[in-house]
Copies of this chain bind each other. A is one copy, B any other.
């Protein structure tokens, strides 16, 4: 049996993870500090090191889990709407945009290469899975085109991520006032969806 549970605190690792996620949502990544997490979990500031080597390891675990969630959301969307050739744009786009707008702090963490460990095996695995899935769908949708899958995938992901990053960092708000509420969430996807098929002969 051996419930793999420590002595002092049930399993502290899970508690630390959950607390960290709560703090991330509430205070942003700056609020996810080793000491704050420990405080909120009711343990001393030195306790977490037994479960997460350092802050970067904790944040990496958080990020990895979020990528997993996104991947699930994508797979779910793909299986639901199996069909048309341009579905991948909606599925991937919706998965990313929904996640980003619903959990801005979690989304922003995903791209803080300075705070998470990009060499982490589990993290890069799930990122690869998302990217490969995207490429597969593109390949399936347009077998032969003048641009290879990678270029289309990167262009698409770049646009979606760039849009989210600019929106979530508050840049658009401070740009021209005209832009503030301008881009209907799906506008960019509509644009990309109309652009790609016509030129890349799907």
Question: A residues engaging B (CB < 8 A)?
Answer: 28, 30, 111-114, 118-119, 123-124, 127-128, 131-132, 147, 150-152, 154-155, 157-163, 165-166, 169-176, 178-179, 182-183, 187-188, 191-192, 194-196, 198-199
Contacts and interface: CB of A to CB of B under 8 A. Distances in A.
A146 to B, nearest CB: 8
Nearest to A146: B194
Given A123-B174, A154-B179, A155-B191, 8 more contacts: A118-B173, A127-B174, A147-B187, A150-B178, A151-B188, A154-B183, A158-B160, A162-B162
Contact of A111 (B154, B169, B187, B192): B169
A34 to B, nearest CB: 17
A166 B28 contact: no
A178 B112 CA distance: 22
A42 B23 CA distance: 39
Contacts of A112: 169
Contacts of A169: 111-114
A18 to B, nearest CB: 24
Contact of A162 (B127, B151, B157): B157
Nearest to A119: B174
Q: Which of A147, A170, A191 has the most chain B CB within a 10 Å cutoff?
A: A191
A109 to B, nearest CB: 12
A198 B30 CA distance: 45
A199 B195 contact: yes
A104 to B, nearest CB: 11
